[in-house]
A and B are shown apart, each in its own frame.
Chain A
Amino acid sequence: MQFLEQFTLTNKLNGVSGKLKTLFAVLTLLVCSFSTAYIVPLLVFCIMFAVTVVVAGIPLRFYAKLVLAPAGFGLVTFVLMMFFFGKEPFFSVHAGNLTLTATKDGFDMALISVGRMLGSVSCLLFLALTTPMADIFALLKKLKLPDVFIDLSMLIYRYIFIMVQEALRMEYAQKMRLGYSDVKGSFRALSLLAGNLFVRSWDNADKMLTAMNSRGYEGIIHVLEDDSPIPRMHLLGLAGFELVLVSLNLILPR
């Protein structure tokens, strides 16, 4: 079973502070989604693409696969917006006796929306492919989010993998006994799997609590966090980068 997460452990940006990477991704994401000039999100996309594929060394093929799905949606949105939003006529397409008129303001809106979407996707992909979850939790803790929230996310994160494995094992066991051979059987097998998974999760949670209690758990999860500070120069660089993006928005035409 291959998870996106695998790359966070092996990419070439492994040595860089996880907090810095998270800040970089989240701040750029914010700037990108509030951008008014369409060039900025596209620039963000190019930069994030370069950092993820060239610098961090994520395989291009793999990256392309991940971008393709949102890009497909983007294309559809783009076409719809161009033809069905706005008033000012731009150009027309004739197909038989059908005439579709694209609008100028619709085109501008499509460009900025799809641009923002692609830019944001690239930010999230950067985060997902280069930054281990533990680093993100460390940042959340630093930002003083409530303990309950972080503890829960931590447990959920760990248990995703256990549940996926459990579900897979059950699915194999069902398939071995011809569980998914027809439509009716598939529904039946799936419902059994889901129900069973719920019961087992419940049971596992119980056992885990016992195990945690036996190591002195008293309601709050204490674990060692990596509290190495982000180098000052890196922070300054990050601030400069975001400032450039913001000012580009102000200078460039809307």
Chain B
Amino acid sequence: MHALETVDVDFRYPNGAHALQGVNIKIRTSSKIAILGPNGAGKSTLLYLFNATLRPTSGTVRLNGAPMKYDSSSLRSIRQKVGVVFQNPDEQLFAPTVKQDVSFGPLNLRLSVEEVEKRVSESLDLVGMSGFENLPPHNLSTGEKKKVAIAGVLAMEPEIMVFDEPLSGLDPKGQADLTELLDQLNADGKTIIVTTHRMDFAAEWADEIWILKNGKVTKKGVPNEIFSDMSLIHGANLQVPMPIQTHNELYLRGFCNKQVPLSVLELVESVIEYSGENDYTGHYALAKEDFAPLDDCFIGFENGVLVASRDDFKNCFARCRCTGQVHKGKEIPIDLSDVPEGKVWIVRTPGAADGGAEMMPATVVRGLIDSRKPNRIGAMGTVAKSIVKNTGLNYDFGSEVVNSAVSASRRGLSTMIFATGKMADLAAKRIAYLNQRMGEEISFQMVDGEL
């Protein structure tokens, strides 16, 4: 089923600029789509066509299979189904307070005041902006404005959400939060379409990439297909993501296998796998305690010195087994070829719609953590994050959670991931996918958090 489809779409602006020329795009329902292309390629024009803000000069746009109509009642239904978040939130926010701005869309859908109130608080909750209801927009930072702009569109409960340059102007933490939010929306079944110039984001996030140049589609495909075609990428004024560039250089020098990595994790795996035996001999760490053979030892840097400890500690990055008798203060040989398996547990937490963080008391979370003793804790989604924080603990992984957990597991550390609602399935799917890509078998287990 295709959520959106353009058939031979042409678009000319009144000044004669031929922005789109015979564009044929098909977007599967519930997929994550990135549209890439140089400035002026027609990306924004295309987005405006998706929610009937612009009308094609010729050709048709199909929504859920039916050609779009442009009378006022059809327009209302199209705009409810397809939400657009603009690049500059100042263009979108107009009301005196955050709450009033978010209520604008749902009130235009002629919903009851109670329903609107409910949607406003739910969508502000989802983007993590509850508590800001009565502030005027000019009191917010760019990142906060962006979240409010997203909430304003979310409150209309669209099936398809279109984002023009969602990451622009955000700090790294803001970008990570936003990426997570996009995943969360997608996990709830929404089709997500973004335009972006951030290649690393597109490579890791998207299910499918479309490249637009001079108003025409020049290529579409899954990320590794797209990014293995260097000349295509450069031809579209784009850049190859850093892991892929590094991979390319290493591959040409014979240090890794051929498969194009989409993330740093995949790149590292590709190198390790190719080098065959993990030759870590010759590495030594300072023993902080006495060690007997086969003892667990946790390795990490402390004040610039590589140390080994019997207990997990903050900067520890790997766990392995001690090979012989070592006394405190002596150097311990590290053999990372015999790393015990690090488990991954995925705990499904309630979502905002199920009542939020209050539905999972701190004692339950503590119980889960104490019974399984993970080395690291990850949290995906706003609700899961506050659930973990309610216990007084802090999560170690708040962004790129699954990648970090898999990477930790390869180094012998186990992780418990708290994930909101459908994000849990998403995490499981992602681990299965990484296992398949890397030819590894990271074992993971779903734990029911709704006790």
* Additional A-B contact list (11), CB under 8 Å, known A154-B96, A208-B94: A162-B138, A204-B90, A215-B79, A215-B104, A215-B152, A215-B153, A218-B76, A218-B108, A223-B101, A224-B113, A224-B117
Residues in A whose Cβ lies below 8 Å from that of B94: 154-155, 158, 208, 212, 221
Q: A-B pairs with CB below 8 Å: how many?
A: 100
Q: State which of A132, A214, A218 has its C-beta within 8 Å of the C-beta of B84.
A: A214
A9 to B134, CA, bound (A): 9
Write the residues of chain A forming the contact surface with B, with a CB cutoff of 8 angstroms.
5, 9, 132-134, 137, 154-155, 157-158, 161-162, 165, 204, 207-208, 210-218, 221-225
Contact at B53–A223, with CB atoms within 8 Å? no
CB of A55 to closest CB in B, whole Å: 20
**Assembly CA distance A223 to B105 (angstroms):** 8
Cα distance A233–B19 in the bound complex, in angstroms: 63
Q: Which residue of B lies closest to A218 (CB)?
A: B108
Looking at B83, B93, B97, B135, the one whose CB has the most chain A CB atoms below 10 A away is B97
Q: How far is the CB of A120 from chain B (nearest CB, A)?
A: 25
Instruction: Please name the residue on chain B nearest to A216 by beta carbon.
Output: B108
Q: Is there an interface contact between B96 and A214, defined as CB atoms closer than 8 Å? A: no
Of B105, B120, B136, the most chain A CB neighbours within 10 A belong to B136
Q: Nearest chain-A residue to B116 (Cβ)?
A: A224
Given A134-B136, A224-B117, A224-B120 in contact, is the A216-B109 Cβ separation under 8 Å? yes
Contact of B100 with A214 in the complex, beta carbons under 8 Å: no
**Of A134, A162, A221, A222, which is within 8 A of B134 by CB?**
A134
Residues in A whose Cβ lies below 8 Å from that of B91: 204, 207-208, 210-211
* Residues of the A chain whose Cβ atoms lie less than 8 Å from the Cβ of B117: 224
Nearest A residue to B96 by beta-carbon distance? Answer: A134
Pick the most buried of A154, A158, A204: most chain B CB atoms within 10 A of its CB: A158
Residues in A whose Cβ lies below 8 Å from that of B103: 222-224
Number of chain B residues whose Cβ lies closer than 8 Å to a Cβ of chain A: 41
* CB atoms of A221 and B104 under 8 A apart: yes
Contacts of B139 in A (CB 8 A): 9
Assembled-state Cα–Cα distance A221/B96 (Å): 12
Q: Which of A9, A211, A218, A225 contacts B86 (CB 8 A)?
A: A211
Docked complex Cα distance between A23 and B344 (Å): 61
B107 at interface by CB-CB < 8 Å: yes
Known contacts A132-B136, A214-B84; A222 and B96 CB within 8 A of each other? no
Q: Could you say which residues of chain B place their CB within 8 Å of the CB of A137? A: 96
Query: Which residues on A sit within 8 Å (CB–CB) of B53?
Result: 210, 213-214
Residue B190 is within 8 A (CB to CB) of chain A in the complex? no
For B120-164 the 0/1 string (1 means CB < 8 A from A) is 100000000000001111110000000000001100100000000
Task: Kindly name the residue among B91, B94, B108 whose own CB sees the greatest number of chain A CB atoms within 10 A.
Answer: B94
B72 at the interface (CB under 8 A from A): yes
Docked complex Cα distance between A173 and B134 (Å): 33
Contacts of A9 in B (CB 8 A): 134-136, 139
Query: By the criterion CB–CB under 8 Å, are B104 and A223 in contact?
Result: yes
CB of B80 within 8 A of chain A?
A: yes
Q: 27 A-B residue contacts at CB 8 Å? A: A9-B135, A9-B139, A132-B96, A132-B97, A154-B96, A157-B96, A158-B94, A158-B95, A158-B96, A158-B138, A204-B90, A208-B92, A210-B91, A211-B84, A211-B86, A211-B91, A212-B104, A214-B53, A215-B79, A215-B156, A218-B72, A222-B104, A222-B108, A223-B101, A223-B104, A224-B107, A224-B117
